[in-house]
């Protein structure tokens, strides 16, 4: 099946200054790639969602674990995607010790665009499809991986795609990454 291809965005262009730049991989191309890998998914369309709170208010009874995705950088200029359940407490002052990074902070929208080809509000493990240089380290919360289904934006925040955890791992590995599955963010008590 032929899917439309978009030219790669200028890595020096700011996604905020040029919001009309096409994504390097369109959501339809991502879904076609998942299908080619034999990975079943279900995608729901909805108004654009920018926060976990907006997602909770609009998703209705959409089944599965609902997740948040943090694109971080550390003091040594390593990039990290940390994926966890939406209500997980992620303490950046302690997470660095858990995952073996230097001190962590949020990466800029420009770095997000350069490394993952997406805009703020659409961070997702599916964006690893755009990390051909494998510059982003992937950390998945262990508790998240215990759900039957997981929900993420398929590169744009106006849709949600459900995928099984084992299929998420297959996709991430097919993108050339070996994710770390780490215990963090569980409620104490």
Query: For residue 144, how far is the Cα from the chain centroid?
Result: 13
Task: Work out the end-to-end distance of the chain between its first and last CA atoms, rounded to an integer number of angstroms.
Answer: 50
Q: Do the domain assignments include residue 132?
A: yes
d(CA 15, CA 121): 12
Q: Do the domain assignments include residue 114?
A: yes
**Which range of residues forms the domain containing residue 37?**
27-182
pTM of the model: 0.85
Q: How many structural domains compose the chain?
A: 1
Q: Do the domain assignments include residue 188?
A: no
DSSP string, 134-157: --EEEEEETTGGGSS-EEE-SSST
Instruction: Give the per-residue pLDDT at 57.
Output: 59
Q: Do the domain assignments include residue 16?
A: no
The pLDDT confidence band at residue 157, using thresholds 50, 70 and 90, is confident
pLDDT digits (tens, 9 = 90+) for 7-49: 444 455 555 545 678 899 999 999 999 999 999 999 998 777 6
Residue 160 three-state SS? strand
Higher pLDDT, 91 or 46: 91
Q: Do the domain assignments include residue 82?
A: yes
Beta strand 159-163 pairing with 42-45: antiparallel
46 neighbors 58 (Cβ within 8 angstroms)? yes
CATH number where 68 lies = 3.90.960.10
């Amino acid at each position: 099946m032929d899917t439309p291809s978009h030219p790669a965005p200028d890595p020096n262009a700011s996604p905020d200054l040029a919001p009309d730049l096409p994504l390097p991989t369109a959501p339809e191309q991502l879904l076609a790639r998942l299908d080619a890998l034999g990975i079943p998914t279900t995608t729901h369309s909805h108004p654009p969602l920018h926060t976990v709170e907006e997602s909770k208010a609009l998703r209705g009874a959409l089944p599965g674990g609902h997740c948040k995705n943090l694109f971080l950088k550390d003091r040594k200029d390593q990039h990290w995607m940390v994926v966890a359940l939406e209500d997980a407490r992620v303490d950046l002052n302690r997470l660095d010790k858990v995952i073996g990074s230097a001190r962590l902070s949020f990466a800029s929208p420009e770095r997000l665009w350069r490394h993952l080809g997406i805009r703020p509000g659409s961070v997702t493990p599916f964006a690893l499809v755009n990390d051909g240089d494998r510059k982003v380290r992937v950390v998945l919360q262990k508790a998240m991986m215990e759900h039957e289904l997981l929900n993420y934006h398929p590169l744009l925040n106006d849709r949600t795609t459900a995928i099984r955890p084992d299929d998420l791992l297959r996709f991430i590995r097919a993108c050339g990454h070996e994710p770390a599955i780490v215990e963090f963010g569980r409620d104490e008590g």
